[in-house]
Structure 1
Amino acid sequence: MPSPSTSAQSHPPRWLAVYLAALVALTPFSIDTYLPAIPSMAHALGVTVAEVQRSVSSYLLGFAVGQIFGGPLSDRLGRILIGTIGLGIFIASTALILFINNAELLVVLRFCQAVGGGFATVICGAIVRDLYHGRDAARIMSMIATMMLLAPMVAPVIGSTLLTFSDWHAIFIFLLVYALLMMGVVRSILPETVSKFRRARRQRQSRRSMFNGYGEIFRCRRALGFLFAQALISGCMFIYITTAPFVFMERFGVSSAHFPLMFGSCVLGLVLMVQVNIRLLKVFEPRQILLVGMSLQLMSCALLLGSTLYFGRELPLLGWMIPLVMAMGFNGLITPNSAACYLEFFPKISGTANALYGATLFIAGGVLGGLVNGFHTGTLVPIAAGMAACSAAALCFVLFVARARRPIDVDGRR
């Protein structure tokens, strides 16, 4: 009689991508829904807005920590157990936030909340790698990405709507309810994709060896090429996200009412290209589409930089928006395929590999986005130049380190 894990791998449940996307969406919901409430939270706690904003940074740090530790633990103990523990930490931390009375406690609890979120969401990419590989993995990643891209657009709207009917506590009640629903999904719907034999074998190993998978990853040169390339692409995205308010509202004078429209246009471009990617995967390999996507993005970033330098302060909004939407949109051809190519190398430690992948993207994106902000000159040149530099470096990593023009064999080592 086949084990549940074997059965799940032979017949993955229908709508699995929807459930995994809903679980991964816990992170953007946790970050973006409460952004509109930061001023009111600062007023309620009697502190400055800057003190409350520290809780955003603490969440990003906690999420990276949760991913780094949650991935190897899920390889050792199973996906469902780690997902359950993570959601339990998230639920407890969120409930405690409802009773805070100072900003310091908010920062600590947001860190704990993020660690739980990292544990819970790191299992998603691992489950995809356990069940699928190659084109199928990239197709599922694309479907998850499509739904995931909608979360950052919807989250601030949810937060603002809740604030019109109540205070900031309503936002964390929403997160609490959402996490409880995800607990039901993890416990009742998601398959356990780590077999009992594999779990027992890993549990017999020393606890120190639990993190040996990270050493295995860093010894795989081609996989690191895909990883660092995607980290740079994430940096390009974070540069856009962190500078968007200045670009649209200060540089081009877009009103706060129209800002979501400008910001969301790039997200819609991304969603469109993800759908194109799903159809291309029926014909081409993920690494082939990845090379084309990165080349097109570099051309778009070069056009953005050229347009910025040529027009200077006379740059029209359309001259900025067209290449920007193109550059961000081509991420739909890049991100799902780079993830699939990278994870292809590590079928036995997919939880560890996905943990490093997620943590690296957040850390690299945050650092590169902050670095460009540090070179702020009041013009768009550092922004366009930073995006072009990230895109060019990413293509170099894929071509010369990952050697994406060469096929990846079954064991992922050639």
Structure 2
Amino acid sequence: MSTIAIPAEKKPPRWLAVWLAALVALTPFSIDSYLPAIPAMAAALDTEVARVQHSVSSFLLGFAIGQLCGGPLSDRWGRRLVGTIGLSIFIATSVLVLFADHVDQLIILRFFQAIGGGFATVISSAIVRDLHSGREAAKIISMISTMMLVAPLIAPVIGSVLLATGGWQSIFIFLLLYATAMLVLVRWLLPETVSRFSRARRQRKPLRSLIDSYGQVVGNRRALGFLAAQAFVSGSMFIYITTAPFVFMQVFEVPANQFPIYFGLCVLGLICMVQVNIRLLNLFEPRNILLAGILLQMLGCGLLLLGTLTGVRELALWMAPLVLVMACIGITGPNAAACFLEFFPRISGSANAIYGATIFITGGILGGIVNNLHTGTLIPVAGAMLGCTVAALFFAVVVARAHEPIEAEVPVTKRFIPR
């Protein structure tokens, strides 16, 4: 990719991290805001709740596909164009969902809505990598993560209020308006970080070059080690999310109206740890912080399993290590992403697509497997979470060799191409 040094008077926009966080938040808003409305949607569509829940699965699949396709296309066509295409698809399908009168229509429309969402959000980390590297990239990703994590906290509340006041369709009207605001953001505020020369050169290449860019990512063993490490770390989070209702409301008999409090404590811990990570990056390299985060998470998972095997039934004794486990993702996530993307300065869009899609798919599979291993106890949950951290440590140390310095295959200077 052709690169241009950033002139002193043309630094990246001051509010860039906020704008990118708002764009990435489209995904948790799209999933979490309509979960409270699923029973009402099932009644309205004259079907079972379980059938409507397939629209969640179709969204997850579509989102992964959208990232895999949108990433290399953003390297080829530019970040803003791909983001515009994705948001246009998202807006159009949101309108069609309002008129859906059969659950199969809902499932299909959510799939295509997610493809648009994947196109739109995959450009965020790619823009960060276009402009920054190393510690600076990890700091920016951490700030984006902090702001983006507000969305899962407020999305269910927004969905419940909209459901009570305007019915389930009002939730998709909200998503439509939010996506429209993001379209304005992409078109007029976000910078294009892929030069015209690079776009023209890439567009002259055959479409097979899109597949070749994925081949470059898959062929980098160390980079895949960082990806696998974070995929298993995130797997512990997906296991928690999948089994949280059973853990809190059945095992510990937490009332349904108090469930969001305990669920939100982990998110708050995650937000706090992201802030700690930003400060640690002033002193340590991302790869070293990543290793420390995995070890700390392993400690938390070990305490969870120990408490489960010894028959501990005190909710506070379960919550303390659980919050630690979830909070550690605030350390591992930004640093794993920065280390992984460091290897691909010229194809950051494709690399970010594989990164996001792999974590989404792996986490979903792990959460589903543990959910199917239901024994009525917490042993499968705690045991699987500990197993995830052990696997993460193996990939970080043995495959990624996180204890060794990282050198990008092709040196690259920072760039910023104004509109």
User: The TM-score by the shorter chain falls in which range?
Assistant: over 0.9
- Once residues 234 and 364 of structure 1 are traced to their aligned partners in structure 2, the CA distance between those partners, rounded to angstroms, is 8
Among 392, 395, 399, which residue is 2:390 paired with? Answer: 392
Do the aligned partners of 2:34 and 2:159 also contact (CA within 8 Å) in 1? yes
User: In structure 2, what is the equivalent of residue 28 of structure 1?
Assistant: 28
CA drift of 1:3 comes to 10
The answer to whether residue 400 in structure 2 is matched with residue 402 in structure 1 is: yes
Question: C-alpha offsets along residues 280-328 of structure 1, whole Å, 9 cap, x if unaligned?
Answer: 1111110111111111111111111111111x2x421111111101111
- Once residues 290 and 298 of structure 2 are traced to their aligned partners in structure 1, the CA distance between those partners, rounded to angstroms, is 12
Tell me: CA distance 1:410–1:44, structure 2 relative to 1, closer, same or farther (3 Å). closer
Deviating beyond 4 angstroms after TM superposition, the runs of 4 or more aligned structure 1 residues are: 2-10
Query: What is the 5 A alignment of 1:109-258?
Result: 109-258=109-258
User: In structure 2, what is the equivalent of residue 280 of structure 1?
Assistant: 280
User: In structure 1, what is the equivalent of residue 414 of structure 2?
Assistant: none
Q: Quick one: which amino acid aligns to residue 19 of structure 1?
A: W
CA drift of 1:6 comes to 5.5
Query: What is the 5 A alignment of 1:276-315?
Result: 276-310=276-310, 312=311, 314-315=312-313
- Once residues 242 and 308 of structure 2 are traced to their aligned partners in structure 1, the CA distance between those partners, rounded to angstroms, is 18
User: In structure 1, what is the equivalent of residue 374 of structure 2?
Assistant: 376
Q: Extract unaligned runs of 5+ from structure 1.
A: none
RMSD between aligned residues:
1.6
Q: Extract unaligned runs of 5+ from structure 2.
A: 412-419
User: In structure 1, what is the equivalent of residue 16 of structure 2?
Assistant: 16
User: In structure 1, what is the equivalent of residue 417 of structure 2?
Assistant: none
Say which SS state the counterpart of residue 345 (structure 1) adopts.
coil
Say which SS state the counterpart of residue 186 (structure 1) adopts.
helix
Give the paired residue count. 410
CA drift of 1:254 comes to 0.4
- Identity percentage of aligned residues: 63
- Once residues 330 and 412 of structure 1 are traced to their aligned partners in structure 2, the CA distance between those partners, rounded to angstroms, is 31
CA drift of 1:10 comes to 5.4
Q: Quick one: which amino acid aligns to residue 197 of structure 1?
A: F
CA drift of 1:237 comes to 0.5
Question: C-alpha offsets along residues 39-96 of structure 1, whole Å, 9 cap, x if unaligned?
Answer: 0111111111111111000000000010000000000000000000000000000001
- Once residues 355 and 168 of structure 1 are traced to their aligned partners in structure 2, the CA distance between those partners, rounded to angstroms, is 31
Tell me: CA distance 1:9–1:111, structure 2 relative to 1, closer, same or farther (3 Å). farther
The answer to whether residue 103 in structure 2 is matched with residue 103 in structure 1 is: yes
User: In structure 2, what is the equivalent of residue 332 of structure 1?
Assistant: 330
Question: C-alpha offsets along residues 381-410 of structure 1, whole Å, 9 cap, x if unaligned?
Answer: 000000000011101100010000001125
CA drift of 1:164 comes to 1.6
- Once residues 47 and 322 of structure 2 are traced to their aligned partners in structure 1, the CA distance between those partners, rounded to angstroms, is 37
User: In structure 2, what is the equivalent of residue 319 of structure 1?
Assistant: 317
User: In structure 2, what is the equivalent of residue 66 of structure 1?
Assistant: 66
CA drift of 1:411 comes to 3.4
User: In structure 2, what is the equivalent of residue 347 of structure 1?
Assistant: 345
Tell me: CA distance 1:90–1:9, structure 2 relative to 1, closer, same or farther (3 Å). farther
CA drift of 1:330 comes to 1.0
Do the aligned partners of 1:6 and 1:195 also contact (CA within 8 Å) in 2? no
Tell me: CA distance 1:4–1:112, structure 2 relative to 1, closer, same or farther (3 Å). farther
- Once residues 269 and 55 of structure 1 are traced to their aligned partners in structure 2, the CA distance between those partners, rounded to angstroms, is 30
Do the aligned partners of 2:344 and 2:408 also contact (CA within 8 Å) in 1? no
Question: C-alpha offsets along residues 81-134 of structure 1, whole Å, 9 cap, x if unaligned?
Answer: 000000000000000101111001001100010000000000001000000000
Do the aligned partners of 1:9 and 1:130 also contact (CA within 8 Å) in 2? no
Do the aligned partners of 1:4 and 1:192 also contact (CA within 8 Å) in 2? no
The answer to whether residue 32 in structure 2 is matched with residue 48 in structure 1 is: no
CA drift of 1:8 comes to 10
TM (normalized to structure 1)?
Answer: 0.97
Tell me: CA distance 1:340–1:412, structure 2 relative to 1, closer, same or farther (3 Å). farther
Do the aligned partners of 1:267 and 1:329 also contact (CA within 8 Å) in 2? yes
Do the aligned partners of 2:234 and 2:329 also contact (CA within 8 Å) in 1? no
